[in-house]
Structure 1
Amino acid sequence: MTKNAVIYARFSSDKQREESIDGQIRECRAFAEANEINIINTYIDRAMSARTDQRPSFLQMVKDSAKHLFDYVIVYQLDRFSRSRYDSAIYKHRLKKNGVKVLSAKENIKDDPSGILLESVIEGMAEYYSAELSQKVKRGMTENLLEGKWIGGIVPFGYELTSENKLAISPATGHLVSEIYNKCLSGVKTTDILSKLNSLGIKTQRGCNFTRNSLNRILKNQIYTGTFTWAGTSYPDYAPALITQEQYTAMQNLFESRKRKSNTARRVSPQYALTGKIYCGTCGLPMTGYCGKSHTGTTYYYYQCSSKNNKSEKAARSQIACDAKNISRDKLEKLVLDTTISILKNKDAVKCIADQCMTIQKAELEHKPAEQLRLESQIKEIEKRLKNSVKAVENGLISQTITNNIETYEKQLTELNAQLDGLKLETHIIPITEEAVIYYLNQLTERANKKDGYSLDTFDDFIRRVVVTGKRVDIYYNYTAVPNILENPAVKMLRGSSEDYLVTR
């Protein structure tokens, strides 16, 4: 099954131009095409810093990931996603919980090697640190729901907000919701409904033309019955009803019947854990997931060079005719998984990885953003002027100008110190000890002894790139090689398809 993705693009200052965004999107689309990923939306933040998470389109993208409409977020480079290591870990963790992975079009890695290991530790501990905050947020949202107040996000089509932050029927679009339900239930084709809405110039709440996805969001949203469900709890009479409960139930039954028919006809397509990281060593193009059936009806799953994919424009443009053979998905993923587990069960290797994390963290803690340096320099200059003015008064040189200057300097210092404190709070990094890193890595490997065992996704942050050349597999990790302890890449050999085992070179 073709995977869906969205593109996130950003430039950080007014000095950069719109062409910067166009270039990012162009490269992201090329990456998606090479990996047979379908782009369904693009999120753009202009003149926004990646040191902060206060980026409207970025936050909307994270929120939209909960709707499970896309599988990947593709960025030109990872610094477009975030330059704050803590923010990056938190938001990647949130996306991962929604089944979404971040892919880099140009780097094909998740970050610099040692830094990602630190990020992985933070990500693994993020749920623990956020538990109390989660409870507070939940309490606040519950209070708003009980009072019938909108809890945030895009207001559903057909509604508008009152001055009390409650949902009310929109005079312009409220009546359309019932009409949409009636047409769908009476058998009118989706394409005809979309054509009618768009021909009338009716826009979604995002100001876009209607698509099948935006229409389905209306047809699957229970809020139009007046009931809102959040965190497993239903709140009846939360909003004015635009349809009856019977209409809503009939519509969901229709969706379910379509889903059963679709599942019957659709070929099963498994997950390919190395998507976006696996490359053909023969021609350099990405490898993609592929499945097919033998004459006996058995389904086999492979990774194949994307030059062999239908409509591979990049291969056609470059006149690439690659003779690389398909690689068994299960054997290759097991080889990568076993190699990773072997590394993390080596105490000396874990100690080296922890040391690298501490080195990166020290640099992060010592690093001061340019804005912080500017504020500190400004504060130092104002303090010097204030000190000279006070000294002049102490020496008997009193004038209205000096008095006014003292008041101005004191006010400026108060404002600058407040800005500096706020910036430090925003860019604060939670320190992680070496013992915490080792404990976290050991906890990962201990899962191997449990009934459910490992999955390759567990170690996603450790693996940077996998290159397959014939039977040779080069596994590049997000750490720096250490002689006689950590190899990078780890070179393994994959036996032929007629054999059911793997050997290490």
Structure 2
Amino acid sequence: MNVVVYARYSYQGQSETSIEGQLEVCRKYAEQNNFHIIYEYIDRGISGRTDHRPAFQQMISDSSKRNFSAILVYQLDRFARDRYANAIYKQHLKKNGVKVISAMEPISDDASGVLIEAVLEGMGEYYSIELAQKIRRGQKICIENGTTLGGQTPLGYKIENKRYIINTDTAPVVRKIYEMYLANATMAEIIRYLNGQGIRTQKGNEYNKNSIRRILTNRKYIGCVSYNGEEYKNKVPAIVDEDTFNRVQIMMEKNKKAPARAKASDEQYILTTKLYCGECNAPMTGISGYSHTGVPYQYYSCVNARKKGRSCHKSNVRKDLIENAVVRVIRDSMSDSNISSIAKEVVNQYKKATASSNLPVLQKRLSEVKKAQDNLLHAIEQGQAIETLTAQLAKRQAEEEEIKASIAKEKLQDGFSATVESVISYLSHIRDGSENDIFYRQSLVNIYVDSVYLYDTSDGKNKKISVHLNTRNGVKEIPIDDLESSSMGSLVHHRGLEPRTH
């Protein structure tokens, strides 16, 4: 089989060695699986959260030539980190007969693999949420005991024995800023004074409006620490008194040129990346706003129908109606025996996918990066090209943080064990959750839904939805209430193990 390799590293401190490592793993995987690599696409210094990647876009375009059947990547996050973009581009590739294969995450590419990957991702997310809750509890105890959680130390403080104490060298600068502001000095005047005196921020930079504003609004300066929506008093030694702080807040509010606008809540559209127009096969995405009478609305709309020229005339569908219909389809199809069957298959695939760990490779890279940092520090101490070496050191430090994050993720996966019992418990928990809970609704869609197609009649009204699930029940008709409040029946496909094309 002819394949291409896609490799990428982002700007966060990675380097050419990251590309070579990805290519080496992909080439070895291709050799072991009798794949013939015909080309290697490489994007350097570009984040996976954007699709403005020259080599990536060229690869997507080249897929239409049908010269290759698969794209081989080191890990799936090399392809894309944005869930929406990932789904759209994979759908485009599917039409050209191209699939994406991860060398480090060997999960089968049939319907079984799709379901298994979704279940494992869901369980990993669920496990991560539980772990985050435990971490938050531990951090709350630290806050209550007055110990620091790390991060940037505010100007005026230093840390001893994991506790904030007043820095007698810089605390007067904080008090001076408050005094000047209360004396009606403008932000610009305060900035000019500090920078003119050679006084620098905690990071060693010149002051600007943002840095001054952060100092004037930081409640640590009156001894208060905020964590997870709660405020704890007298946990940090105060640098300014509470009366001074409050008077500054009143003055800042008066000095605002315009009142702040409340940020609109972004209601989650759970069918994003799953819902497609049955007329033109384009994605349908969420839109919201207010009618001329002031009534709020949320709809899914075909992206082609929203473009100039309207290449598609698909009508919109109310968000709540179609989401509720899809959730009911999923819940009705998940019997205990179905869940048990899925759990057994998930565990079998999980054991294959986790047979090898990437942890040793990451730990080796971390050791190399730390050694490189030591060499750079030594060179800086010797006075060699300080400005250039300092920039290189910053990149190495950023790379160290990224590797540490990958190691933490790997350890999390190692600590997570999928058993038949745990998968059954998780899937049952998701199935039996409240229909009004956004977490359960989103989890149901992420795990069980491959795609949803919405069709219109000749008069432009929504006619039916076709829900393609990742389960193995074959094709089955399930009646669904009319999406526009009139009776209807809808053909609902339950995706089997065989590939399906549209």
The normalised TM-score by structure 1 is 0.53
What's the % identity of the aligned pairs?
15
| 1:80-229 equivalence runs, <5 A | 103=83, 105-107=85-87, 112-126=114-128, 139=141, 143=145, 145=146, 150-156=148-154, 158-159=155-156, 161=158, 166-169=164-167, 175=173, 179=177, 183=181, 217-229=214-226
SS in 2 for 1:428: helix
Question: 3-state DSSP class of the match of 2:297?
Answer: strand
Once the two structures are superposed, the pairs formed by residues 2-81 of structure 1 within 5 Å of their partners are: 14-16=17-19, 19-22=43-46, 24=48, 26-27=50-51, 78=77
Q: Equivalences for 1:394-413 in 2 at 5 Å? A: none
Supply the distance in 1 between the matched residues of 2:363 and 2:264 (Cα, whole angstroms). 58
SS of the residue aligned with 2:425?
A: helix
Deviation of residue 467 (structure 1)? 4.5
Letter in 2 for 1:161: K
Deviation at 1:121, TM superposition (A): 2.7
Distance 1:211 1:340, change over 3 A: farther
Counterpart of 1:457 in structure 2 is: 442
Q: Deviations over 1:69-102 (max 9, x none)?
A: xxxxxxxx635899xxxxxxxxxxxxxxxxxxx7
Q: 1:428 aligns with which of 399, 414, 419?
A: 414
CA distance in 2, matches of 1:184, 1:277: 55
Which residue of the partner structure matches residue 293 of structure 1? 291
Distance 1:227 1:245 in 2: 10
Tell me: CA distance 1:440–1:19, structure 2 relative to 1, closer, same or farther (3 Å): closer
Q: Is 1:307–1:322's contact at 8 Å kept on the other side of the alignment?
A: yes
Structure-2 change in CA distance of 1:425 and 1:248 (3 Å): same
Alpha-carbon distance between aligned partners in 1 of 2:440 and 2:478, rounded to the nearest angstrom: 21
How far did 1:194 drift?
Answer: 11
- CA gap of 1:217–1:161, structure 2 versus 1, over 3 A, is same
Q: Judge conservation of contact 2:276–2:283 (CA < 8 Å) in 1.
A: yes
- Name the residue aligned to 1:335: 325
Q: Which residue of 1 aligns with 2:340?
A: 351
- Structure-1 residue corresponding to 2:243: 246
> Any conservation in 2 of the 1:280–1:324 contact (CA below 8 Å)?
yes
* 1:189-211, Cα deviation, whole Å (9 max, x unpaired): x8x79997999899876788989
Distance 2:80 2:124 in 1: 17
Checking the alignment, whether the CA contact within 8 Å between 1:291 and 1:299 is kept in structure 2 is yes
1: CA distance between counterparts of 2:271 and 2:50? 23
In the TM superposition, 1:276-315 aligns within 5 A as 277-281=274-278, 282=280, 284-285=282-283, 287-294=285-292, 296-307=293-304
The one-letter code sitting in structure 2 at the alignment partner of 1:321 is: S
Letter in 2 for 1:335: A
Q: How far does the alpha carbon of each residue in 1:166-187 deviate from its partner, in whole angstroms, 9 at most, with x for none? A: 4544857963676379659969
Structure 2 distance, partners of 1:458, 1:245, is 46
Return the alpha-carbon distance in structure 2 between the equivalents of residues 25 and 198 of structure 1. 38
**8 Å Cα contact 1:198/1:210 also seen in 2:** yes
For residues 106-151 of structure 1, the C-alpha deviation after alignment (integer angstroms, 9 at most, x for no partner) is 3359x954122123234435566677776666556655x2xxx533
Change (3 A) 1:454 1:23: closer
CA distance in 2, matches of 1:187, 1:136: 42
In the alignment, is the contact (CA less than 8 A) between 2:329 and 2:478 conserved in 1?
A: no
CA distance 1:180–1:203, change in 2 (3 Å)? same
* TM-aligned CA deviation for residue 337 of structure 1: 1.9
Q: How many residues align?
A: 363
Q: Quick one: structure 1 residues 454 and 237, their matched pair in 2 at CA, closer, same or farther if it must change by over 3 Å?
A: closer
Checking the alignment, whether the CA contact within 8 Å between 1:341 and 1:445 is kept in structure 2 is yes
How many angstroms apart in 2 are the aligned matches of 1:202 and 1:502?
Answer: 72
Question: Judging changes above 3 Å, is the alpha-carbon distance between structure 1 residues 352 and 168 closer, same or farther for their aligned structure 2 residues?
Answer: same
Q: In the alignment, which of 310, 325, 334 is matched to residue 315 of structure 2?
A: 325
Q: In structure 2, what is the Cα distance between the partners aligned to 1:254 and 1:500?
A: 58
Q: Which residue identity does 2:17 align to in structure 1? A: D
Distance between the aligned counterparts of 1:193 and 1:289, measured in 2?
45
TM-score (norm: length of structure 2): 0.53
Q: 1:361 aligns with which of 335, 339, 350?
A: 350
- Listed one character per residue, the Cα deviations across residues 231-285 of structure 1 (whole Å, up to 9, x for unaligned) are 74625262451x4313443566789999x96568x87864434445544452625
CA contact (8 A) 1:289 1:301 kept: yes
Contact kept? 2:452, 2:465, Cα under 8 Å: yes
CA distance in 1, matches of 2:130, 2:182: 45
Deviations 1:367-418 (A, max 9, x none): 343847999xxxxxxxxxxxxxxxxxxxxxxxxxxxxxxxxxxxxxxxxxxx
Q: Does 2:445 match 1:438?
A: no
Residue 332 of structure 1 deviates from its aligned partner by: 1.7
The answer to whether the Cα contact below 8 Å between 1:9 and 1:21 also exists between their aligned partners in 2 is: yes
SS class of match (1:24): coil
Amino acid at match of 2:416: I
Give the letter for the 1:338 counterpart.
R
Distance in 1 (CA, whole Å) between partners of 2:451 and 2:194 is 44
Structure 2 regions of 5+ residues with no counterpart?
A: 1-9, 21-41, 55-73, 91-104, 106-113, 365-407, 457-461, 492-502
Question: Aligned partners of 2:127 and 2:194: how far apart in 1?
Answer: 47
Q: Is the 8 A contact 2:118 2:446 kept in 1?
A: yes
State the 1:358 CA deviation: 0.9
CA distance, structure 2, for counterparts of residue 491 and residue 214 of structure 1: 59
Q: Distance in 2 between matches of 1:126 and 1:141?
A: 22
DSSP-derived class of the 1:27 partner = coil
Amino acid at match of 2:323: E
Residue pair 1:287, 1:305 contacting (<8 A) in 2 also: yes
Q: For 1:379-394, list aligned pairs within 5 A.
A: none
Residue by residue, what CA displacement relative to the aligned partner does 1:407-463 show, whole Å, maximum 9, x if unpaired? xxxxxxxxxxxxxxx9996762432321222122222333349x9799633535324
Is the CA contact 2:180–2:190 (under 8 Å) kept in the aligned structure 1? no
Measured after TM superposition, the shift of residue 227 of structure 1 is 2.9
Displacement of 1:25 after TM fit?
5.2
Q: Could you tell me which amino acid in structure 1 is paired with residue 77 of structure 2?
A: L
Which residue of the partner structure matches residue 3 of structure 1? none
* Distance verdict in 2 for CA 1:456–1:252, change over 3 Å: farther
Aligned partners of 1:464 and 1:184: how far apart in 2?
60
Q: Report the residue type matching 1:293 in the other structure.
A: S
**Conserved in 2, the CA contact under 8 Å of 1:290 and 1:302?**
yes
Which residues of structure 1 form unaligned runs of 5+? Answer: 1-7, 31-49, 52-76, 83-101, 310-314, 376-421
Cα distance change on mapping 1:329 and 1:269 into 2, 3 Å = same
Please name the residue that 1:234 is paired with. Answer: 232
User: In structure 2, what is the equivalent of residue 46 of structure 1?
Assistant: none
Evaluate the alpha carbon distance shift between residue 370 and residue 153 of structure 1 in structure 2; reply closer, same or farther with a 3 A threshold: closer
What is the CA–CA distance in structure 1 between the aligned matches of 2:189 and 2:487, rounded to whole Å? Answer: 55
